[in-house]
Structures are given as C-alpha cells and as structure tokens.
A and B are shown apart, each in its own frame.
Chain A
Amino acid sequence: MPRRLLLPVTLLAVAVLLGSACTSSPPPPQGGQGGTLQLAYLADMAQADPDVFYDIEGNTVILSVYEGLLKYKPDSTEVIPSLAEKWEVSPDGLTYTFHLRSGVKFHDGTPFDAQAMKTSFQRRLDVGAAPAYMVQPIASMQTPDATTFVVRLKHPVAPFLHYMASSWGPKAISPKALADHAGKDHAQTWLKEHADGTGPFQLTAFERGQRYELTRFDGYWGQKAHVDKVEIRIIPDIGTQRLQLQSGDLDAILHSFPQAELESAKSNPDLQVRDFSSFLNNILYLNTNKKPLSDPALRKTLAGALDRDSLVKEVYGPYATPSSSTYPSGLLDPALAPVAYPPSETTAAAGGGSKLTFAYTADDSGVHRRLAELVQQRLDAAGFSVAIKEVQLPQVFEYVNDLQAAPDMVMQTNTPDGAHPDMWARIEWYSTGGLNYLGYKSPQADKLLDQALETTDQATSDRLYGGAGKIVARDTAIIFVADPRDVMVLRKNLTGVAHVPNYPWALDLAALQKG
C-alpha cells in the first residue's frame, strides 16, 4: 500500500473536487429554432431493441424513434391514434381491427403498411423477451389490405389497447432492416445499438456508456420535431448533471433530481421545476412467508407505526400524495380498493422486539434512502428492531427464489406498463407477478384478476379489480406508501413540454423547443 503517497493524493483529490466544482464551459450557442437539445441519462439504456427493452431509463429514445399503433394523450390515460388512425373491437372482445395511417415511411425510406406491422408483431413473439407478453394472447393476424391490420385473440384481454399504447408495447420496425440484419437472432444484435422505426427522430449514434444522438427525421408523417438534434449523454452522477444544468450544458434533468434541492432549483431564475401526474408508486413489500411478518396483526401494527402520511409529507414535500388506493391514482376509482394506514397509538412495546431486515434500492434523488431511514427510525421507536441495507435491483428480483432467506421488507418505486388496472395488479400481487418481490400469494385475488381480464364490460371488470385490491389491502401484505409526481427540472427557455403519465421520466422530444 503506498502509504507515503497519502497526503499528496488527498490534496490532489481535494484540488480535483474544487476544480470540477468551479469549471463550467460557456453554454453552447442557441438558435431560435432547431438547435441541439442536451439531455442526460444516469445509466446506460443497455439496448435500443423495442422488443427487448424493459427499463425506464431509455424511454425517451424508444418513444422518439419508434411508434406503436396507439399512444396516450398528454396528461391523460386516454388512448389516441398513432400509426393506427382508428380501430374497432368486436363485441366479444376477441377481434381488433386497426385502420393504419397511409404515407408513413420508415427511417430507411421503406413505406409502412399492415404487413410491416404484422412482421413486427411476429418478431416480438419470436424474440420472446419480457415484453412479449403483450402479443402472446394473439391467436392470428391478418392483413386484408395495406392499411388494415386485424388481430384475433385467444381470449378477451381487457387491457389490450393499452398494450398497444405502452412505451414497452409493440412498435413498428422496418421490415427491410429486419431482413437485412436478421442474422440468427431476429436482428437482435443489430437492433441493440441501431434503430429503424417511423418516429420523429432517427437514432444516429449509440455509443454505449457515452452518448446517444437523435437526429430529426425529415420524412416524418406528422408534426416534425422542432430541434435538429438531441444529444443524450451518460452522466452517472446527479450532482454533475445538476452543475451542467445550471451552467446551461444540459437543457433538462428528466428524473432523480434530489428531492430536497427542488426548492433551491425553483428559486434559480434560469430553471423551471415541472411536476406531472404519473403512475409511479412507492411501495413497501412485507414478507408474509416467514416470521415475524407472517402474522397479520403484526403487519397491521407495523403499518400503523409508520405514520405514513407524515412520512410522505416529510420526504416528498408537495411532490407526492399518500396512496389512497392499492392502484396508482388515475388507474382505478380509489373507492373501489381504498387503503389507509391510520397512525396507531403505538407504545415502545408494540413491535415486541421483532427483528426485521429491510432492503431498499437506492435512487439518485435520495428519496428511497431517506424514506428507508425514517421508516427504521419510526419502527425502532415502536419496538421493532430494523436492520436496513441498500441493495441493487437484480438482487431484489432474486428474493422470490428463496423467500425464507429474503428480507422482511423491501422498498421500491414501480410503474405499470400501461394505464390499465390489470397492468398494475398482475405484476404487483398476482402470485406469479414479475414485481411481486416477496412472493405474496392470495388465490382469491388471483381468481378475481383472471375474471376481470376476460370481462369486456368495464364497470364489472373495475369492480373485480377493486375486489382483488381490497384483499391485498386487508392482508396488509403490501403497504402502498406514496403516489409521487414525475418531477423534472428544465432550463427556462424550454417550451412545448408534453408529458404522458404512463411514460415516466420522458417528455415528447419532438414537441420540445429551445426558445
């Protein structure tokens, strides 16, 4: 160990820190129109293949380059036309007929038609990655003419239109690109770092771990993008991003701005803090499969001891509300599956000295860590003994394989794939749900969800979804903590801000303008 180097190295480190805090290159020249939009990701998006991509960081790229049949209206859960101009659903809920837009071109010039859409759907099935579940209920696909695409399902799927509008839903990929780069893996190798869709931007650079570049697609069928280019750099530290935003090197921070610093950002005349409704949901999972939380009474005591409402207020300030339902606000009438955790009159003996392990994933905004430590503080005061640890998301996904070794509590913020109650309940608490980290099981709730999925009448299916939610609420197996807003900090000169609740951490880049 180079012990004698200690002092010089320390001093050097301090100097570097000071240096990086002081240097700031002048903002790039800006034109009235066009220009380059500078954005940042905290982490690499891993890949740009829309049939494999299943992350949140990267949504902005996918949504700018590719389009699906449908999309969401800004600030709404309403499904609106995208590549399909209109659509019909048969009364039995099995046949969907999409009338496609004509005159649409892929980035490589290939015209878009029903056959191209069918090829893309088929590819998603063939690739068979996680998002393939959205096309797996399809029994057959027909293309009676170039602008008509008919899908027949094996059984009714209530949220099917929302699958089509999801940011992880099926997208149109150029059939020419798929054929040219097919290889042996349905062009997966090529599409990892390239893209060929119909969106308002082309992916012109994909430098892993460095930057992505989007360039305006002038052959776009709709309203063309205002900016010429979008540069997205990987800047893994939110503090660095923040300095660059302040100096004008970045135009926006789309997520994870430190929550406690939003007030000071608000008072900066160069910045605007915007918050949008979202389906993000902060959740505390309890391990019902092992002692001590296998005891429902103890789980109720725990939920009461959290004093959840004041917890949410303290950590999120005005940027979240305590969850009023087992579904994120806006997905389902909260009265159908309400939750409340009235603070109980806990004494220091309430927890009975129960030892609990508590794992949480760190987020860069500092929210999870702060929530976790406050939860620990409060539960310790109520007679629990909580040991917390910070873990990485892949570890969290492992817990379900050994529930006895898994922690007693896990905290995570999740978002549904689409704006439909099924797309939340089925991943969160269905017994095989992908985000049911601590293996909660209720055959009764599963049954209600399965019934709801195949019910075509919305009022009936909503009641069924509510019924399933009520069971989870009654069991206190999952504590629904907060419905956070999607908070973004932008330079003041940015206009044309359009946000969709179901596309977290993303804005419509084509609509953005640099003033």
Chain B
Amino acid sequence: MAASEPVLSPVELTRRRRAWAGWVRLGRLERGGLVVLALTTAVALLAPLLAPNPPTTAVPAGSFAAPGTHGLLFGSDDLARDLFSRVLYGIRASWLSALAVIASGVLIGGLIGTIAGIAGGWIDTALMRFTDLFLALPAAVLVIAVVAALGPSLPHTLVAVGIVWWPWYARIVRGEVRAQAVRSHVDAARLAGVGRTRLALRHLLPGAFPAVLVTASLDVGSLVLILAGLSFIGLGSPPPAPELGAMAARGMPYLLGHPWIPLAPAIAVFLLAVAANLAGDGLRDLLEDH
C-alpha cells in the first residue's frame, strides 16, 4: 500500500473490501451485465451527442441502404433514416422510460407502503386492500385499456404502466417496514423518544432499501420488454419517434429482404433486457452480502 493512500477507517476499509470481494465473486455474465448496464446508461444520456445523424430526417444515402454502406453503421430504413442513430435514440427512450416507471413505482409504492407499515390498524388494511385491488387487475389488459383511452403517446404509456407497477413496491416496502418495526434497534429508538417521522425515515425505511433496490434492478429488464411490446403493438410514441418496439414492428415487412431494418431495434431490445436482468442478478448478489 503506497504512502499517499488516504488513511481509511477500519469500517470503511472493510466495506470497500467487501464490495470488491462481492464484485470478484460475481459470475462473468453478471459482471458483463453491470458493465453493459453502465454503458447503456451512458448511451442513453449521450445519445444526442453520439448519434451521427438526426433520428427523424432522411439521409442522402436514400432508403434501404445496407449496413456499413454510405458510412451508415446499421444502414438506413424504408424512409431513408439512419438506423444507427434511431437505435441510439430508441435505447435512450426505452432506458429512460423504464427508469421513470421504476422511479414512479418506488415513489408511490414506497409512500403507500411506508404509511401502511407504520400506521398499522385500519389504515394499513385499507391501503393494502386498495393495493390488492390493483394487483388483482390483469396488468397487460389494464395498460392497453388505459393507453387506448388516453391515446397513444409516450407519457400516456408511462402513466399506464406506472399504474400497474407501483403495487409491487407498496407491498415490499410495507412488508420490510413491518419486519423492521419489531427489531430491537427500532424499539430502542422509540424508547429513546424518537418521533414518528424520524423513526420512519431514519430507522425503518433504510431497512427496506436493499429489497427495493433488488426488485427495481430486476424490474428494469421486464419494463424494457413491456414498453417495447406496447410500442410494438402501436401503443407507444406516435411516428416518427424512434422507439425500438415500433421500429421492429414497422420493419417486419422487410424481414426477408432487408433484415437489418427490423433486426437492429429487435436486437437492441434483446440486449437491453438481457443486460438489465444479468445486472439485476449481480446487484442482488452484491447486496445479499449485507
């Protein structure tokens, strides 16, 4: 260890070692997943800078240019738009949408779950029955109905998926909060005269954090797929927005003659979902340490 290394407290050192040990113990796939996940996030954020062409206007090469020709990495689609740029923007839309849905789920579900968990009694019962009501509805049908009623657009799709997504988090948070509430450190805090709000924020919620994080990370993959699926059946952004599901659907007639048009977005969805799942597994393994 070099002399210039900052002196770390033993606790901090242990934590770092543990994290590293966790990383090392992860399978190659999970590690790859985490790396891809980091890359994807970078791509999602930087898409406007990375994309060589605007996603909705025609390039001079014309339509149906093969991948690798005319300086177009993935070729051009039937409307002469640069597929590579469209896929980048599509990844951005998918990724940020998935994160937005999860954030809304964690926020709404977390709030309801915490209130139910702390309040107990009839409030708990009422909130949880309300949650069950949403869980009982067939999610896919509900989403399609909501989007159909509001009209297809990305915000509407996100609202619809958000509506079916939060109950899971409400249940998890409520369960964790209930479990924490009977732990001795919470009893000790309560006896020491800590107020309700502070008790919830400082002593109960942190306990629910790992479980929520693991669930959320495993959800990203299925959300990417669900959003792509909705977009595939025409319930996403209206054209010409670059959305992976819609691009794959609209490219289907060209599958045999110009396969890159549907395949490029389809493969992007596939890789996103796989990476998100592997990364989710990895994250869970890391957190299980605690």
Contacts and interface: CB of A to CB of B under 8 A. Distances in A.
A103 to B, nearest CB: 48
A261 B218 contact: no
A239 B225 contact: no
A388 B239 contact: yes
B24 to A, nearest CB: 24
B57 interface: yes
Report, as a range, how many residues of chain A touch the other chain: 20 to 34
B218 A3 contact: yes
Contact of A3 (B57, B222, B239, B274): B222
A308 B218 CA distance: 50
Contacts of B56: 377
Contacts of A463: none
Interface string A252-288: 0000001011011000000000000000000000000
Given A260-B258, A366-B78, A7 B274 contact: yes
Q: Tell me what chain A mostly uses at the interface: helix, strand, loop, or mixed.
A: helix
Contacts of A366: 78, 253-254
A365 B225 contact: no
Given A239-B255, A260-B254, A314-B63, A389 B152 contact: yes
A258 B78 CA distance: 12
A261 B238 contact: no
Given A3-B219, A314-B63, A377 B58 contact: yes
A14 B256 CA distance: 16
Contacts, number: 73
A390 interface: yes
A229 B123 CA distance: 71
B64 interface: yes
Contacts of B252: 239
Contacts of B250: 369
A159 to B, nearest CB: 36
A122 B156 CA distance: 53
A369 B234 CA distance: 12
Contacts of A238: 253
Given A377-B240, A387-B238, A389-B238, A6 B253 contact: no
B78 A370 contact: yes
Contacts of B218: 3-4
Contact of B273 (A10, A243, A264, A364): A10
A373 interface: yes
Contacts of B222: 1, 3, 6
A265 to B, nearest CB: 8
B57 A10 contact: no
B277 interface: yes
B183 to A, nearest CB: 28
Contact of A373 (B139, B239, B258, B273): B239
A260 B253 contact: yes
Given A10-B270, A366-B78, A370-B79, A390 B234 contact: yes
A374 interface: yes
B221 interface: yes
A260 B225 contact: no
Interface string B216-245: 001101100100000000100011100000
Interface residues of B, number: 31
B155 to A, nearest CB: 14
B257 interface: yes
Given A374-B79, A377-B79, A389-B238, A6 B254 contact: no
A374 B139 CA distance: 35
B79 A373 contact: yes
A6 B273 contact: yes
Interface in B48-82: 56-58, 63-64, 78-79
A178 B56 CA distance: 58
Interface in A49-96: none
Given A3-B219, A376-B239, A389-B152, A264 B257 contact: yes
Contacts of A388: 238-239
Nearest to A374: B79
Given A7-B277, A377-B240, A243 B256 contact: yes
B256 A261 contact: yes
Interface in B192-231: 218-219, 221-222, 225
A314 B76 CA distance: 15
A242 interface: yes
Contacts of B258: 260-261
B219 to A, nearest CB: 7
Interface in A302-339: 314
A377 B257 CA distance: 24
Interface string A345-374: 000000000000000000011100110111
Contacts of B57: 377
A201 to B, nearest CB: 31
B257 A260 contact: yes
A507 to B, nearest CB: 23
Contact of A6 (B58, B63, B225, B238): B225
A288 to B, nearest CB: 24
Contacts of A243: 256
Interface in A1-59: 1, 3-4, 6-7, 10, 14
Nearest to B269: A10
Nearest to B139: A1
Contacts of B225: 6, 10
Most buried by A among B56, B239, B253: B253
B234 A261 contact: no
A383 B277 CA distance: 44
A170 to B, nearest CB: 38
A238 B238 CA distance: 24
Contacts of B274: 7, 10
Interface in A228-252: 238-239, 242-243
14 contacts: A6-B222, A7-B221, A7-B274, A258-B253, A260-B257, A261-B254, A261-B258, A264-B256, A314-B63, A364-B253, A372-B239, A374-B79, A377-B56, A390-B234
Given A3-B222, A4-B218, A373-B240, 15 more contacts: A1-B222, A3-B219, A6-B225, A6-B277, A7-B221, A7-B273, A7-B277, A239-B252, A239-B256, A260-B257, A370-B79, A377-B240, A388-B238, A389-B152, A389-B238
Interface of B: 56-58, 63-64, 78-79, 139, 152, 168, 218-219, 221-222, 225, 234, 238-240, 250, 252-258, 270, 273-274, 277
**6 A-B pairs closest in CB distance:** A258-B253, A261-B257, A366-B253, A264-B257, A3-B222, A6-B222
Interface of A: 1, 3-4, 6-7, 10, 14, 238-239, 242-243, 258, 260-261, 263-264, 314, 364-366, 369-370, 372-374, 376-377, 387-390
